[in-house]
Amino acid sequence: MTPALRNAVALAIVGAGLAGVGFGQSWSLALAVFNLCLISALMSLAVNIQWGYAGLFNIGIMGFAALGGLAGVLVSRPPVPAAWAAGGGGLFIALLILMAAGGLALALARYMPRSRMRAAALAAVVLAGLFGAGVFFDPAVDAIEAVEPAKTGYLGGLGLPIILSWFAGGLLAAGAAFVIGRIALGLRSDYFAIATLGISEIVIAVLKNEDWLTRGVKNVTGLGRPVPYEVDLQRDPWFVDLVAVLHSRSLEALSGEAHEAALREFAVQSSSLFVKLCYAGLFLAVLAVVFWLSERALHSPWGRMMRAIRDNETAAGAMGKDVTRRHRQVFILGSAVVGVAGAMLTTLDGQFTPAGYQPLRFTFLIWVMVVVGGSGNNLGAVLGGFLIWFVWIEAEPAGLWLMQALTAGLPEGSAFREHLLASAAHMRPLVMGLILLLVMRFRPRGLIPAGGR
Amino acid sequence: MSFLEGEAMTGGYGGADIIRGCAIAVERGEIAVIVGPNGAGKSTAMKALLGMVRLRSGTVRLDGEDITGLSPQDRVGRGMAFVPQTDNVFATLTVRENLEMGAFLRRQGVGETMERVFELFPAVRENRDRPAGELSGGQRQQVAVGRALMTEPAVLMLDEPTAGVSPIVMDDLFQRMLEIRGAGIAILMAEQNARQALAIADRGYVLVTGENRFTDTGAALLANPEVRRSFLGG
Amino acid sequence: MLPDLVNAAVLLGNYVIVPGLAYAAQLALGALGITLVFGILRFANLAHGDLMAFGTMATILATWLLQAWGVGLGPLPTALLALPFGIVAAIAAALAADRLVFRFYRRRRSAPIVLVMASLGVMFLLNGLVRFIIGPGDRQFTDGERFIVKAREFKRATGLAEGLSIKTTQCLTVVVAAVAVFLLFRFLQRTRTGKSMRAYSDNEDLALLSGINPERVVLIAWAIAAALAAIAGALYGLDKSFKPFTYFQLLLPMFAAAILGGIGQPVGAIVGAVIVAFSEVTVTYAWKKFLHYLLPGPWQPDGLAQLLSTDYKFAVSFMILVLVLLLRPSGIFRGRVL
């Protein structure tokens, strides 16, 4: 098969799968799956930029996605003035102390000669800074979290449109990537991987426990939307008229009460579809822009240099290319895109649930997408994102169906049967592990290899 | 026919051929030395004999048997020992453990062999309980040779054993080579210090760009005016 | 004044030293496996946490079976009797993974990162298997006598205000880990095979030139790493509880311990584990009461005097990891600089 044909086939398979869900289950569900496919594709594209362009093995994707989600809260929620009044000042002082201590520590590290004295002074400054900040931080946090804990208990956000959080999420993730890149890039790739794994666990721990910032496991619900609400649409004359026109054939036969009821029913269905379509449009636009940019980058002189570095780091280093600095650029760019995708996901969910971030779902699944797509291949990464998200979604019902078929012969209520049925949910990691290993082994360049490079 | 011989060896590390039609041979109880300018393929020729370089054509025979298709490990099992130029000791293991690892394939007589190595290199005995990585360059080289001797080899091959050691250590090492030769072992060395190496060599090979340029006894090569002018600096 | 000092010491023993030692022992066994695989196979095995979970799961299943048969060890947990079964299961899993997955890439001499990625796939598979067989929930499987020293009895016997309690599982952890480590070191230092493994880890090419069989070395490395993983996992589960996800999270402190000690250095893994474990425990311990015993009234802290909440214990391993990477990437014992 030629690459073009192969791409077409992959696209057709995903399309057919979605159509199958649409006809078999419902179009609303198919669109929901499609929207998550788009976000997955964006994350997969981002990781592919890191892996395919620079060979960076980032297994902290979850952390960057969660930072994007955090941006959703910080940008869109209204500020809580009472909480700011109660603890804002204390937080500010704590921050100042920390910054002062950090600055002093940096200055010491730079200007004092390397000695035991310097180490002791550094340790003292850091400890004093932490302790001093704690004195103001702890009471401030207690005060903030005491402000209507059932409803707020946190500082809130900026009260801006949530779509801005997509940029903010990218910036937050890029900032985190900058810090981690400073520390861990330039070391061996295994160490880098472990460091990213660590930072992502810590990000999640912070989001779960710093209630003053994120409400922690109490979650933040009811985030704003960049698209209309279903109930508003159903009341909006132009939308109802549109629905009436679209369904005029089935409505014609009806009159009076029945006509009204049917129209309302159609409006409810259509509004849900319309909202999902709006999201799909927005996501598609972001995906298209990022895809276009990364393709441009890949075929620019910069991209050629990145590939040269990837193919032979030593030679590129010898030619005077600052390999670590290039890697840092790519790492920050890719992480920023993951942050954008994370913010988009939180926007779509309409809520921020720190406990929902699982490494299996947010880190390792993305890696399966990238491997299936083929490293360094943008289109492959996107298609891999679609394909694998679809498999991930369908693995559970498929597993359940399989288990039911397998255990049909066992007596009703048998403990073994019950166990197998209950375990069907865990088919997902099994299937994903198998896909990853099989593709790596038998199709090391991915199912959708890049054409003509 | 010699004990170990490579005939018309052509090959390299995947890219262009580094040795071309190269012939090297060494007899038991003999020292053969490969010399030549940088990049002449001295090490490559030796590694080809050990099977660490893929040959496109040519044969390697050990004791009359064709071993061209054997892996380096199999050749080690048949009595060929090799001392690499760098990283030639287990740095974190003690000297004694280094020697034990040399004798990994043998079950009997390890103690006697070790005793002989100790007699050959008294410094090795003195440092037997220290990690090999802590020793000086010359002592480390002795441990490396000792490890190779622990296999009770029929052929001992050394890749530039005197690179980076002082002249005194070099002279000492060459003296030991003469003693090892006395035990009936075939010794093959690739050497940068051509003059000193040819002085102890029974056979000398001068390689240039992967081909044999001169082949003769060590003494004859040292006396050859053309060799002196081109390769020994007058 | 003196009783205050003794009380403070007992308090420290009860909340820092005893739990810290047990945790250090568990981490050390895990970190040893990681450092061994790293030293011999030269890649970071991300599946190690899930291999631990797999071995522990097998141990739990065998424990249940033994309990159903009414077989027990009296005051000791039945799981101790079931542990060999868990070890065998873990070894089988590791060897199967090597045959079916890792050997292929090893023979092709693939870049280490490819092996790391493959270990990701193995991690997925093991994780799925464990959750499929035993479920993702929390499980307690210890039985027998719960305490060797009970806090109340300790207080009655000594007349101190503070009690010291030592759980059977804590004591068992330290003893079993000590035995395992002793056997491992004897094996590595004294036996021909053990020395050949150290030689292979030190200098692969020279090991091949000495006639050391790489496949055998790899096989034994996997077997030892898996056995240690099963022991570590079972002890951790006995001491705390078994939950598959917790075992995945142990990866970070275990890697921190292995890298801190120096990759490929067994002694380093143990020292690293002790440092990581005690840093975690001391940083997350609330020192308020301890300081109240020792400091005069006006100096006593009002707050908990806790540097970090226990939710951030992973941050401690991470900080250690970062510091090592920044200051001394080869680790305390000068392992391989990777």
List the structure tokens of A1: 């098969």
pLDDT band with cut points at 50, 70 and 90 for residue A93: very high
pLDDT in the model for residue B46: 92
pLDDT above 60 for A451: no
pLDDT in the model for residue C335: 67
Query: Bridge partners of A424?
Result: none
- Interchain contact, B90 vs C203, CB within 8 Å: yes
Task: Give the gap in angstroms from C-alpha C260 to the nearest C-alpha of chain B.
Answer: 18
CA-CA-CA-CA torsion sign (A222, A227, A231, A232)? positive
Closest residue on chain B to C190 (Cα):
B97
Return the C-alpha torsion angle B61, B64, B70, B73, nearest 10. -100
Alpha helices by DSSP H, listed for chain C, are 2-12, 18-41, 48-69, 79-97, 103-107, 112-134, 151-158, 168-190, 192-202, 204-209, 214-239, 244-249, 251-261, 266-284, 288-294, 313-327
Considering only the beta carbons, identify the residue of B76, B88, B93 that sits closest to C199.
B93
- Work out the number of other CB atoms within 10 angstroms of the CB of residue A397: 12
Q: Considering only A102-111, A255-264, B129-138, which range has the smallest mean pLDDT?
A: A255-264
A288 CB-near residues (< 8 Å, 6+ apart): none
Considering only the beta carbons, identify the residue of C104, C317, C322 that sits closest to A183.
C322
* Residue showing tokens 């990781």: A47
Closest residue on chain C to B86 (Cα):
C206
List the structure tokens of C188: 């590595």
Could you list the beta-strand ranges (E) of A71-144: none
User: Which residue, among A354, A338, A351, has the nearest Cα to A223 in the 3D structure?
Assistant: A351
- Work out the number of other CB atoms within 10 angstroms of the CB of residue C307: 17
Task: Give the gap in angstroms from C-alpha B201 to the nearest C-alpha of chain C.
Answer: 25
Interface test with A, best of C120, C122, C322 (most A CBs within 10 A): C120
Beta-strand pair B31-35/B203-208 = parallel
User: Which residue, among A12, A35, A107, A5, has the nearest Cα to A344 in the 3D structure?
Assistant: A35
pLDDT above 60 for A354: yes
Closest residue on chain C to B51 (Cα):
C209
Interface test with C, best of A217, A357, A440, A443 (most C CBs within 10 A): A440
Residue B96, helix vs strand vs coil: helix
User: Which residue, among A167, A180, A169, has the nearest Cα to A58 in the 3D structure?
Assistant: A180
In angstroms, what CA-CA distances link C306 with A58, A383, C298, C309?
A: 32, 49, 19, 7
Residues C249-268: tens digit of each pLDDT? 999 999 999 999 988 888 99
List the structure tokens of A52: 């395919």
Residues B211-222: tens digit of each pLDDT? 999 999 999 999
**Which residues of chain C does B102 touch, with a Cβ-Cβ cutoff of 8 Å?**
210
pLDDT in the model for residue A449: 60
**Which residues of chain C does B104 touch, with a Cβ-Cβ cutoff of 8 Å?**
192, 196, 210-212
Region(s) of chain B under CATH 3.40.50.300: 1-78+155-162+186-234
Exposure class string for C209-218: b at 16+ Cβ within 10 A, else e: bbbbeeeebb
Domain definitions of chain C by residue range: 22-251
> What φ, ψ does residue C271 adopt, rounded to 5°?
-60, -45
pLDDT above 60 for C21: yes
Task: Give the gap in angstroms from C-alpha B149 to the nearest C-alpha of chain C.
Answer: 10
How far is Cα C36 from Cα C50, in angstroms, rounded to an integer?
17
Within chain B, how many helices (H) and strands (E) appear?
10, 10
- Asked if residue C82 lies in contact with residue A405, where contact means CB atoms within 8 angstroms, the answer is no
The CATH architecture one would assign to domain B1-78+155-162+186-234 is 3-Layer(aba) Sandwich (3.40)
- Work out the number of other CB atoms within 10 angstroms of the CB of residue B81: 25
pLDDT above 70 for C336: no
Q: Does C172 touch chain A if contact means CB atoms closer than 8 Å?
A: no
Q: Is A452 exposed, middle or buried (0-12, 13-18, 19+ CB in 10 A)?
A: exposed
- Interchain contact, C206 vs B151, CB within 8 Å: no
- Interchain contact, C210 vs B87, CB within 8 Å: no
pLDDT above 70 for C93: yes
Q: Considering only A90-99, A232-241, C24-33, which range has the smallest mean pLDDT?
A: A232-241
pLDDT above 80 for C188: yes
Query: Bridge partners of A178?
Result: none
Interface test with C, best of B47, B53, B90, B143 (most C CBs within 10 A): B90
Residues A12-30: tens digit of each pLDDT? 888 888 888 888 878 888 8
Exposure class string for C92-111: b at 16+ Cβ within 10 A, else e: ebbeebbeebbebbbeeebe
- The type of residue at A376 is G
pLDDT in the model for residue C326: 77
- Interchain contact, A189 vs C124, CB within 8 Å: no
Q: Considering only A171-180, A419-428, B87-96, C103-112, which range has the smallest mean pLDDT?
A: A419-428
Interface of C with A in 249-288 (CB under 8 A): 249, 251-252, 255-256, 259
List the structure tokens of C155: 């207080």
pLDDT above 80 for A410: no
- Interchain contact, C311 vs A208, CB within 8 Å: yes
- Interchain contact, B89 vs C209, CB within 8 Å: no
- The type of residue at B205 is Y
- The type of residue at A4 is A
